[in-house]
Amino acid sequence: GAVVSQHPSWVICKSGTSVKIECRSLDFQATTMFWYRQFPKQSLMLMATSNEGSKATYEQGVEKDKFLINHASLTLSTLTVTSAHPEDSSFYICSAATYEQYFGPGTRLTVT
Amino acid sequence: DQQVKQNSPSLSVQEGRISILNCDYTNSMFDYFLWYKKYPAEGPTFLISISSIKDKNEDGRFTVFLNKSAKHLSLHIVPSQPGDSAVYFCAARRAGTASKLTFGTGTRLQVTL
């Protein structure tokens, strides 16, 4: 139980385009979903917290207009990286939470 | 401000020996701590956790110790196995449901034959 999926697992896009990453809780309903990014050899940095049906709460320094988060249902949250730039290349991980957080497998984004 | 720190970026241990991974925190509001194991290009996998009302929690080969006065926790793996080779993150959170986690910087464990 407590399986979280992410799609796509990896994506390459051109600079200036937008990319959408999906996070799904497959066998449970998540009241809260979190989005993290991880740079090579660094820690997981929380980007934002989203609750179903309400606006996401962004961490300091994260541009909410650039990283659009939609939490349309208790099993689906999406992260859209708008007007992507090479510095947005990173590993993005979501987690879905009831009491504990369960992590997805991550999405590798490469912006060329 | 790094509120959760893992001062050893890497650790190498022989198979069969004990691995000890350390973690320090600064925020006294943290009262629940977790350890995660992570392979490259994968999400973290939960290993073991401990509440601040305890000083030890054990699960098979994994034991977590918490020293609240020192704001320090450690993960012991005994005996270490080659499959334990991964990056280990400690994380901390405040009381409450699904509150956000603050992660440490990670320690890469290499278990050698």
- Closest-CA distance, A101 to chain B, in angstroms, reads 7
CA–CA gap between residue A23 and residue A35 (Å, rounded): 9
Strands B72-77, B56-59: pairing is: unpaired
Question: What pLDDT sits at residue A51?
Answer: 87
Q: Is the pLDDT of residue B95 over 90?
A: no
Check CB contact under 8 Å for A34 and B100.
yes
Asked if the model's pLDDT at residue B99 lies above 80, the reply is no
pLDDT in the model for residue B98: 58
| Cβ neighbours, 10 Å, residue A72 | 11
Above pLDDT 90, what percent of chain B? Answer: 85
Residue range A59-76: average pLDDT? 92
Question: What is the pLDDT averaged over residues B12-19?
Answer: 98
Contact yes or no for A93 and B44 at CB 8 A: yes
CB B49 within 8 A of CB B34: yes
Please determine, for residue A43, whether its predicted confidence score (pLDDT) is greater than 90: no
Residue labelled with tokens 């992260």 = A79
Assign A88 to helix, strand or coil. helix
- Shortest Cα distance from B42 to chain A (angstroms)? 5
Report residue A109 CA to chain centroid gap.
Answer: 11
Cross-chain residue pair B103–A49, CB shorter than 8 Å: no
Tokens 């300091």, residue located: A60
Phi-psi region of B61 (alpha: psi -120 to 50; beta: other; left: phi over 0): alpha
**Contact between A31 and B100 using a beta-carbon 8 Å cutoff:** no
Q: Does B42 touch chain A (CB under 8 A)?
A: yes
Partner residue opposite B44 with nearest CB, options A98, A103, A108: A103
**What is the average pLDDT across A42-64?**
90
Residue B34 buriedness (CB in 10 A; 0-12 / 13-18 / 19+): buried
Closest CA of chain B from A31, distance in Å = 8
Peptide bond into B40 cis (omega under 30): no
Specify the amino acid at residue A105: P
Confidence of residue A41 (pLDDT cuts 50, 70, 90): confident
Q: What is the mean pLDDT of residues B55-76?
A: 97
Residue-averaged pLDDT of chain B:
93
For residue B82, say if its preceding peptide bond is cis, omega within 30 degrees of 0. Answer: no
Phi, psi angle pair for B7, to nearest 5°: -75, -15
User: pLDDT > 70: what percent of chain B?
Assistant: 96
At B97, the pLDDT band (50, 70, 90 cuts) reads low
- Contact of A29 with chain B, judged by CB distance below 8 Å, is answered with no
For the stretch A3-25, pLDDT in tens is 999 999 999 999 999 999 999 99
